[in-house]
Amino acid sequence: MLLVADNLHIINPVVQKALETLDPGPIQEITERCEAAGAGAIDINTGPLSRNPEEKMTFMVETVQSVTNLPILIDTANPKAMEAGLQANKNISIINGFSLEPQKLEKILPLAKKYKSDIIGYLLYPDSRVPNDSSERCNLAIQILQAIQDIGLDESHLIIDPIIVPLSWQNGNQQAKEILTFIHNLPDLFGFQVKTIAGLSNLTSGLISGHGNMKKKLLVERTYLPMLASAGLDMVLFNIFHNQTVEAAKACVPLISPRIFSWAEL
- CB-based contacts of 93: which residues, under 8 Å, 6+ apart? 71, 72, 74, 85, 86, 115, 117, 118
CB of 4 to its own copies, least distance (A): 19
Closest approach, Cβ 231 to its own copies, in A, equals 7
Name the residue among 16, 43, 79, 85 with its Cα closest to residue 201.
43
74 φ, ψ (degrees, to nearest 5): -95, 115
Judged by beta carbon, residue 16 or residue 230, the one nearer its own copies is: 230
Taking the least distance from each CB to its own copies, the nearer of 37 and 67 is: 37
Q: Where are the alpha helices (DSSP H) in 38-191?
A: 53-65, 79-88, 102-107, 109-115, 134-150, 172-190
The residue ranges that bind its own copies (CB under 8 A) are 167-168, 170-174, 176-177, 180, 184, 207, 213, 216, 219-220, 222-227, 229-231, 247-248, 251-252, 254-261, 263, 266
Q: Which is nearer to its own copies, 57 or 183 (CB)?
A: 183
Query: Which of 92, 219 has the CB closer to its own copies?
Result: 219
Amino acid at 234: D
Q: How far apart are the first and last CA of the chain?
A: 14
3-state secondary structure of 137: helix
> Chain-centre distance of CA 93, in angstroms?
12
Nearer to its own copies, 97 or 232 (CB): 232
* DSSP for residue 166: -
Give the residue with the Cβ less far from its own copies, 19 or 203. 203
The least distance separating its own copies from the CB of residue 41, rounded to whole angstroms, comes to 22
For residue 264, the minimal CB distance to its own copies (Å) is 10
Q: How far apart are CB 208 and its own copies at their closest, in Å? A: 9
Taken in order 140, 72, 202, 224, is the CA torsion positive or negative? positive
Q: Which residues pair with 170 in a beta bridge?
A: none
For residue 249, what are the contacts with CB-CB under 8 A and spacing of at least 6?
1, 3, 38, 225, 229, 236
One-letter amino acid of 141:
A
Query: Of 156 and 213, which has the nearer Cβ to its own copies?
Result: 213
Find the shortest distance in angstroms from Cβ 51 to its own copies.
38
